[in-house]
Amino acid sequence: MISSLVLMSISIITIPYSQYIPQLYTCFWLFGFGSGVYVNVKYVWLIDMWQESSAPILHLAGFMFGIGHTLGPLIEKPYLTGEQFAALDADNRVALVAKNISVHKSDILSDDSYVRRHKLMIPYLICGSIHILGPILLAIIFNSRRTSTLDSTKLKIVQNNDNTTNIHNNNNNTKNNNTTTTNGSKKLLEQMPQQKLTMIILVCLLLAFFSASESIFFAFSATYFQYIPLKLSASSAAQLVSSMALTFTISRGVAIILAMRTTPQKIIAVFLAILLVSMVLLFFATNSLTLLWLAILLMSFGFSPIYASIFSFMGRYLEFTNQLGTVLLLSANSLNLVLPGLLGAYIEVMPNIFLVTLISCATFTY
């Protein structure tokens, strides 16, 4: 976990220094690889520690993630310049792309690409420096726990030096008791292999389409806001994204309370219904700033607690192992291997592809 967080921090800091597409892809790959390892270990670790009481803890972890997600756009907002290409009408954009004219030429952009990249180095350095505090804190916790464990072990050895035989017998009895307890408290679907497999497959499909919807919404919404008929500036789009992150965080805080009072499946059902309403509103919000605000805030509120609730739901019926966590996360990110490339290639020319893809993934989720 520490290594994955360090890898993510380094990739964040080096992103603005990428002058070529392969370099940028390498940074994104390293960040994604580290993120995948960290998320997998985090969920397995928390569910293993808290078992049936893991739901509020998972939402608390998500709540802290949401705080960081809120601060990110606020940090980068003063350093964004946007591009004049977004202000062109649809016909001119299509014509420019068709002629393969670079959007970085002086007659389209007011800022040189070098200047824009140099300005972005500052917020990425700030975010990377904050991010690296995570592995430092984990290393401190690990070393402190290891030291205290070694000290207590040495003390027990000194105190019980003459009773090694009794200790050995007691350990054997304890192991037998633990085995009996573990076998006697197997989770429901661990004793039903066919139903277990069916549940894993269905949850994998749910995660695949839900994660695709969430990733598309947060990754491409800022670009979408600049190319719809409202033609928001880069700074205004960043403000919307920051508000989305704030709502996302508030929703995680609400989910902590709900998780202590109700079941994960009820949380999933309610917030999926909220998402359905928000997507209908977003469809009609391309010409109304007020409706756009309402739609994106409602959608951010709806997306927030579902992911953690799905893992909490699985942990109630299955033993949540590293292998199961890896399968679920691979499924969750399967569609993200394809869809971002598709949207990235066409969203500036056909902004509605954002809505079509988002609503399609959400439909399969339901």
Q: Kindly report, residue by residue over 125-172, the tens digit of the pLDDT.
A: 888 888 888 888 888 877 776 665 555 554 455 455 545 444 444 444
CA nearest neighbour of 256 among 52, 60, 53: 60
Please check whether residue 298 lies inside any domain of the structure. yes
Q: Over the chain, what HEC string results?
A: CHHHHHHHHHHHHHHHHCCCHHHHHHHHHHHHHHHHHHHHHHHHHHHHHHHHHHHHHHHHHHHHHHHHHHHHHHHHHHHCCCCHHHHCCHHHHHHHHHCCCCCCCCCCCCCCHHHHHHHHHHHHHHHHHHHCHHHHHHHHHHHHHHHHHHHHHHHHHHHCHHHHHHHHHHHHHHHHHHHHHHHHCCCHHHHCHHHHHHHHHHHHHHHHHHHHHHHHHHHHHHHHHHHCCCCCCHHHHHHHHHHHHHHHHHHHHHHHHHHCCCCHHHHHHHHHHHHHHHHHHHHCCCCCHHHHHHHHHHHHHHHCCHHHHHHHHHHHHCCCCHHHHHHHHHHHCCHHHCHHHHHHHHCCCCCHHHHHHHHHHHHHHC
Q: Kindly report, residue by residue over 46-58, the tens digit of the pLDDT.
A: 777 777 777 788 8
Structure tokens at 33: 């690889």
For residues 252-286, b (16+ Cβ closer than 10 Å) or e, as one string? bbbbbebbeeeebeebbeebbebbbebbebbeebb
What's the pLDDT at 103?
Answer: 46
Mean residue pLDDT across the chain:
76
Mean pLDDT of 177-189: 52
Please check whether residue 54 lies inside any domain of the structure. yes
Please check whether residue 255 lies inside any domain of the structure. yes
Amino acid at 58: L
CA nearest neighbour of 25 among 36, 14, 40, 35: 14
Confidence of residue 183 (pLDDT cuts 50, 70, 90): very low
Instruction: Name the residue with higher pLDDT: 83 or 281.
Output: 281
CATH code of the domain containing 292: 1.20.1250.20
The whole domain housing 11 covers 2-139+193-365
Q: Are 325 and 57 in contact (CB under 8 A)?
A: no
Please check whether residue 172 lies inside any domain of the structure. no
Please check whether residue 171 lies inside any domain of the structure. no
CA nearest neighbour of 7 among 32, 34, 28: 34
Question: Count of domains in the chain?
Answer: 1
Contacts of 134 (CB under 8 A, 6+ apart): 5, 9
Please check whether residue 149 lies inside any domain of the structure. no
Q: Kindly report, residue by residue over 186-236, the tens digit of the pLDDT.
A: 777 777 888 888 888 988 898 889 888 888 888 888 888 888 888 888 778
CB atoms within 10 A of CB 218: 17
In this predicted structure, the answer to whether residue 253 has a pLDDT above a threshold of 80 is: yes
What's the pLDDT at 2?
Answer: 80
